[in-house]
Amino acid sequence: MGDHRVRRSSPAAAGPVTGPRTAAEPLPTLLADGLLTERLALAVPEGTRTVVAEYEIQPGHSLPWHYHEGRVVAVVTAGVLTRTLADGSECVTPAGGCIVEPVGPRGVHMAENREPEPLRICALFFLPQGSPLSTRAEPPAGPAGRR
């Protein structure tokens, strides 16, 4: 599984945009192309902080237990993401996959790269003003916290 970043070089390769194009028209950089496998309910109030962030997690490394104060939608752009959720379940998402993170302290989770290549994630955060991207948390009691 290699890096799924693609620079499109021709208008025909850029995708579903229709109609005439000019030579100076910018083409998007496609980071990933996959299917949403979780329900996305997104109602955010006006004034919501919106952040786009890219993470790179090296093989054998992880993001510690944490949670988010708002909705986070992320796409795995390279590698394979393994998340452990508060209930101890694991979710494995390969490159091109999209995830919807749980909101609030009850949605504590961690993310790991168990594969031999770097993991890259592009995340879109919808947060209350003044909230950090994530808040570190203690591992939950029970099977999920015994790593």
Which residues are registered as beta bridge partners of 60? none
Q: CB–CB of 13/93 below 8 Å?
A: no
Tokens of 143: 């099977």
Which residues are registered as beta bridge partners of 74? 99, 123
What are the pLDDT tens digits along the chain (147 aa)?
Answer: 333 343 333 334 445 556 676 777 777 677 767 677 667 777 777 889 999 999 999 999 999 999 999 999 999 999 999 999 999 999 999 999 999 998 999 999 999 999 999 999 999 999 999 999 999 999 988 755 554
Q: Can you give the pTM of this predicted structure?
A: 0.75
Main-chain phi, psi angles of 12, to 5 degrees: -65, -30
Antiparallel, parallel or unpaired: β 80-85 and 71-78:
unpaired
